[in-house]
Amino acid sequence: MPAGLPSKKLRPRLPQKSATLVEFRLRRYKPVAIEWTDLPTDTIAPSERRVIARVWASRARSEHSAVGAFSQLAYEAARLNAPSPILEMLTRAAHDEVRHATLCDDYAATLVGPEYQPLPRMGVPHGPTFGLEPSRERTLLRIVALSCFNETITSAYFTQMLKGPLHAPVRTLVSSLLEDEMDHARVGWAYAKVAIDAGWGESALTLAMDKLVASCMQPLVVARRFGRSHEAMRAFGYFAPGEDFAIAVDTLRSVVLPGFKTLGIDSKIGQDTLEALTRAS
Ligand SMILES: [Fe+2]
Ligand SMILES: [Fe+2]
C-alpha cells in the first residue's frame, strides 16, 4: 500500500464567514496535450498492460456515468434555485467528465493497441435515494455523496499516484484529471455549507451520515482482498483493488469525516459505520 495520506490540498475548502460563494468560481479550462508515443509500453508484460488497460477502460465508463450524474444534480439544484456558483460548478463538472472519459479511453487504447474496445456505457446512474422522496434534502445528500465522498476519494487516489514515479504521459494525464476532480469535490462542501447556513442542512446530513458512508464504501469492500501492485505497474497509473480500498478508507478517516466535523456535523455514526465495514470485510 502506498504510504501517506492525501495532501493538504485535498482538505475541504469551506467558505469562511467573510467569504462568498463567488470565491468558488472555477478556473478556465486549459487544453492538455499528452504525448502518448512517449509511453514505454515494453517495460511491462502484455498481460500487465491488459490489466492496466481494463482499469482505465472501467474508469472511462465511470467518467461517462459521472456526466449524467452531474447533469442530473445540476438539474435538481437549478429546480431548487441553488446559488449560481453551485450551478456553475455542477454543470462544469458534467462537461469535464465528458473529456475525462475520452482521455481514459485514449490511454487504455494506447496500452493495448488497435484491439482496444471501449466498454459499453451504462447511461445515467440512478443515484442513491437515502430512503427519501425528491426533496431539497435528497438533492443535498446526492450532491454530497457524489462530490464530498466519491470525488474526494478520486482526488486522493490521483494524489497518491502522483507521489510515486509515473511515466511522463501518465503524469500529464493524472495531473489534468486531478485538477478537475478537486473542483468536483469542492462543490459538495460548498453546497453543504449553503444548506447548513440556511438552517436545514445540518439535520439532513447528520441523520444520513451512516448511509453516506455505506453507499460510498460498500461497493469497494470486496476489493480489499485483491492484490498488490508493483512499481513498474504503478508507473503506468495502476493500483491493485486492495490498495484502492485502503486509499478510500484513509481518505474518509482523514479528510471527509473531519470535513463534516469542521462544518459542525456530528459524524460519529459515519465513523462507526466505516469501522464496521472495514472490520467486516
Ligand atoms: Fe472525472
Ligand atoms: Fe469528477
> How large is the average pLDDT for residues 217-232?
76
The ligand with the least distance to the CA atom of 70 is 2
The string of pLDDT tens digits covering residues 8-20 is: 556 665 555 444 5
Ligand nearest to the CA of 181: 2
- Number of structural domains (the chain) is 1
Residue 39 counted as domain residue: no
Measure the CA–CA gap between 60 and 66, rounded to whole angstroms: 10
Q: Grade residue 29 by pLDDT with cuts at 50, 70 and 90.
A: low
DSSP output for 76-106:
HHHHTT--HHHHHHHHHHHHHHHHHHHHHHH
Contacts of 51 (CB under 8 A, 6+ apart): 233, 238
Ligand 1 center to 37 CA (angstroms): 23
Give the residue with greater pLDDT, 277 vs 72. 72
Cell numbers at residue 55, please? Answer: 482499469
The more confident residue out of 223 and 51 is 51
Distance 241 CA to ligand 2 centre (A): 19
Amino acid 228: pLDDT: 73
Mean pLDDT of 245-267: 94
24 inside domain: no
- Given a cut of 70, is residue 82 above it in pLDDT? yes
Residue 17 lies in a domain: no
Single pTM value for the model: 0.89
- Please give the single-letter amino acid code of residue 276: A
Please check whether residue 31 lies inside any domain of the structure: no
- Centre of ligand 1 to C-alpha 151, Å, is 8
Residue 173 contacts residue 160 (beta carbons within 8 Å): no
Residue 240 located in a structural domain: yes
Res. 28 pLDDT band, cuts 50 70 90: low
Q: What is the mean pLDDT of residues 218-229?
A: 73
Starting from the CA of residue 93, give the closest ligand.
Answer: 2
- Residue 63 alpha carbon to ligand 1 centre in Å: 5
| Residue-level length of the chain | 281
Range of the domain at 91: 45-120+131-280
Which ligand has its closest atom nearest to the C-alpha of 149? 2
pLDDT digits (tens, 9 = 90+) for 134-183: 999 999 999 999 999 999 999 999 999 999 999 999 999 999 999 999 99
Closest CA to 216 of 261, 186, 264, 256: 256
Grid cell in block for residue 228: 498488490
93 CA from centroid of ligand 2 (Å):
6
What pLDDT shows up at residue 229? Answer: 73
Q: What percent of the chain has pLDDT over 90?
A: 77
Mean pLDDT of 76-98: 96
Phi-psi category of residue 174: left, alpha or beta, with phi > 0 → left and psi -120 to 50 → alpha = alpha
Ligand 2 centroid–CA 224 distance in Å is 23
- The three cell numbers of residue 281 are 470485510
How is residue 2 annotated by DSSP?
Answer: -
Does residue 7 sit within a domain?
no
How far, in Å, from the CA of 17 to the mean position of ligand 1?
A: 30
Question: Which grid coordinates belong to 253?
Answer: 478517516
pLDDT band at 1 (very low <50, low <70, confident <90, very high): very low
Instruction: Give the residue with greater pLDDT, 236 vs 2.
Output: 236
When pLDDT is averaged across residues 255-281 and rounded to a whole number, the result is 91
Q: Residue 5 falls within a domain, yes or no?
A: no
Half-sphere exposure of 83 (CA within 13 A, CB side): 18
Give the per-residue pLDDT at 279.
84
Q: Tell how far the Cα of 28 is from the centroid of ligand 1, in angstroms.
A: 16
Least Cα distance to 214 among 272, 165, 263 occurs for 272
| In-domain check, residue 33 | no
- The CATH number linked to 116 is 1.20.1260
Report CA(42)–ligand 2 centroid distance (Å). Answer: 31
Q: Vertex 61, ends 221 and 148: CA angle to 5°?
A: 55
Residues with CB under 5 A from ligand 2 (ion): 151, 181, 184
What is the predicted pLDDT for the residue at 7? 53
* Mean pLDDT taken over the chain: 89
Mean pLDDT over residues 40-51, rounded?
93
Residue 70 to residues 208, 224, 226: CA-CA distances in angstroms? 20, 28, 30
The number of the ligand nearest the C-alpha atom of 64 reads 1
Residue 75 Cα to ligand 1 midpoint, Å, equals 19
